[in-house]
Chain A
Amino acid sequence: MSTVTNLVYLLAAVLFIFGLKDLSSPRTARRGNALAMLGMLLAIVMTLFDKQIIDFTHIIIGLIIGGAIGVYAAKTVQMTAMPQMVALFNGFGGAASALVAYAEFVRLSGRPGLDVLITMVLSVLIGTVTFFGSLVAFAKLQGIIRGAPIVLPLHHLLNGLLLLGALVVGGLFAFDAPQSSLLLIVVVISTILGILSVIPIGGADMPVVISLLNSYSGMAAAATGFVLSNSVLIVSGALVGASGLILTEIMCKAMNRSLANVLFGAVGTDGGGAAATAERRPVTEYTPEDAAMVLESAQSIIIVPGYGLAVAQAQHVLHELATILMERGATVRYAIHPVAGRMPGHMNVLLAEANVPYDMIYDMDQINEDFQNTDVALVVGANDVINPAARYKKDSPLYGMPILNVDKARSVMIIKRSLSPGFAGVDNELFYDPKTMMVFGDAKKVLTELVHELKR
């Protein structure tokens, strides 16, 4: 690589870092993304001037096909489908890294150094696992295969053996005989490992899996950087790897699970909470008309949206309701739990799409102290994240999970189809609290009725 190329790559890496830094505020985020794009463009253009490239035919074909698919996917994807889209993109990133490392092996003449061989194996291994793991995550989120965990006998032992096998064969390749047959065996084992490691994970745990795959795709790029001794790949891969790890940790904490528990636990096989719902207690049921009157007289309202809201496609009508209430002089804010959607930050995007201004949206930590001074906490499609049992009930699977302090509000209004428990299969005592008003029905239908009542 020439000095100029290297300096341009350095500039690209700096632009990536500035781009990520700009994501610290919604005001600058779009500029940040543009900076990162510029960095990528510079790196690509510089590479095209590389003397090693003698034939542009395949490059142009690849850029056109990939570009067309990328543009089409990015322009048409629904915001609710963002998790599977990101999973798929992660997968392609991983695949690209593995392919480049493999191509480099095919291309090299003579025996490369041990360091190159080791990182080659790692790149192929991580990249392939990322690709096939992402495909399974995509299929689960898209509903192509069922979301419930699929567990084989001795599943985790099998996965452990597969990983060990890949490392042993990879070790033979690196230290003993760098033959393509051995690298191919690594590819095959990694393929099986990628599929088997995501297939036992339930739909509700997908936020963790996507974050982790995000991190893997970064690690694969970094490993390829080692193979090519290309610093911009190493820096970018490390940045993405770190980002994915941070998000994985945040998601695990918000779901009250350890990473090991998500990966090996296969929790939520099916509703284990049947016993908990057996006792029937009275609830305070409100009709939409009564609920509208309560909202009308409320001075301060905090709305707690959950994934059920997105399933019902009710974001727009919810914000219509919020706007009417604000016009009547009430303070309305949205409180978002970290796992409110199907991936980190998902609910915020869904609300932004419904034209909710971001300064009305508050993270759990920002707003949790304010519930006690709030007239009505309006819960739509959320359940486990507001269950007070998480605070004190030591035998509950939710115990220790951070929750929104909805129960501290002066009154609570919950729009829900029925009293059925959430993902954790745990009954929610908040439903039976005397200050809780239950409004039963489909979120979109109920919210539309509320809007209708308030407009009269």
Chain B
Amino acid sequence: MLKLQNLSKVYRTEDVETTALNSINAEVREGEFIAMMGPSGCGKSTLLNIIGMLDTPSAGAYLFKGEDIANYSEEQLADLRKRNIGFIFQSFNLIDELTVAENIELALLYHDIPASERKARVAAVMEKVGIAHRAGHLPGQLSGGQQQRVAVARAVVANPSLILADEPTGNLDSQHGAEVMGMLRDLNKEGATIVMVTHSPTDAGYAGRIINLLDGHVVASAHPSSVAA
């Protein structure tokens, strides 16, 4: 699905140069569920942003479905992103002025999809994540767990092949966290590729493979059972 070759990211301010990623080589295959772990500042969010095409690498190649997109323009990336990638954030990032249904619909607005079909798909996905009874509510009226379910629904409504999750359970209690992780596992089983950044070994246990990062390097890539051991 995607391949990173000698990928580096360097942040420069006037007098400081920070290397966030240093010659990363990694591959994610179709249908994989990957957890990225590592201490704060190890570069996992930067890597996720690059994979999500929200940021561009300083050096190296990023092959998405066989195409090197490292030098794509912002417009090209936006188009590629909206067709292929869904995002889930730690802090939900719902728009306060929009209802649950409208927030989910937002993910379809920038595609050329007729209103009636949008409605149908939003209704279906709300049913799937169990939030249909809250369709007309604003985010402020929902619990954290419910908000994240809306965010998951928004991430998947456009049928992306890749779902990126940045600490999806970070703001949730363990029960709601488990619900969200269950949803991600189900999505993976239905064929979605998932890359998730997490601090939680429990969450990482849902993944099929774990990539460990430290100071901008991949230090290990292993099956979760070996971590748990």
Is chain B found bound to chain A in the same assembly? Answer: no
Residues on A lying within 8 angstroms of B by beta carbon are none
B residues adjacent to A (C-beta < 8 A)? none
